[in-house]
Amino acid sequence: MKLQAMTWPEVEAYLESSTGLMLPVGSTEQHGPMGLIGTDTLCAEAVADGAAERVGVIVAPAIAYTPAPFNMSFPGTISVSETLFETLVAEIVDGLGSQGFRHIYVVNGHGANLAPLRRIAERGQGPGLRIRSWWDFEPVNELRQAYYGEWEGMHATPSEVAITQATTRVIAPPEPARTPPRKLSAEYIKAHAGDRHGPPDEHRKAFPDGRVGSHSALATPQHGEELLKAAVAAVAEDYLAFAGAGRL
């Protein structure tokens, strides 16, 4: 059930028996030479839609304008400040809480969203809030490791590209992208977790085609279908553990 495709009386009737809602959160940023700019949002939406269908919960419109300052030297990236993003999500959550939603499950698709989202949850105000990235779950990571190993990398990952190939559009890798990118050290990955990358010009100079240790050309639509299936099942189960289907 998509919130934007419902009427207010339908939502009011839903709230008489259920208080749950899924909120997909992604980004609008470059994802290398064969990854779609909306990759993070498309992945979060696909997982949220699939999981919500299983558990009978409403899905809110995705939030696609989020912090991605390190990618601003790549055309098409749209970034907002952490402060603006945090304020926007907090007001959305508080507004939903005032209408009777008590269990809001955030399906995240972008690492830089995590710190501000966690600050909102830590304040403990308004409805219950659970934040999960679609890659948080063991069955998903087992597939990522089996398909790509160390070439999953950090950005423009083959797993996220594979999901968009399965759901949206396949772009054949241009010749340079068929070659693996520079492999990242464990120290680099640890230091830059959560998309803690440098200024835009420096970031593009270090990773000129937008891939950050990720061999995107390994992605296939078939991989995407399996990754999506695993993520949907895991999120649905985790949502039920969090909200018990949000039943009154």
Task: Count the domains in the chain.
Answer: 1
Q: Measuring CA to CA, which residue among 176, 172, 130 is closest to residue 23?
A: 130
Coil, helix or strand for 58? strand
Coil, helix or strand for 78? strand
- Rounded average pLDDT over 151-170: 97
Contact 214, 151 (CB under 8 A): yes
Residue 22 is classified by DSSP as E
- Rounded average pLDDT over 150-168: 97
The domain in which residue 146 lies consists of 3-246
DSSP-derived secondary structure for 130-197: EEEETT-SHHHHHHHHHHHGGGG-SBS-HHHHHHHHHHT---PPPGGGGS--PPPPHHHHHHTTTT--
The predicted structure's pLDDT at residue 139: 98
**Is the per-residue pLDDT at 248 higher than 50?**
no
Q: Which CATH number characterizes residue 232's domain?
A: 3.40.50.10310
| Confidence class for position 240, pLDDT limits 50, 70, 90 | very high
The predicted structure's pLDDT at residue 244: 79
- Rounded average pLDDT over 19-23: 97
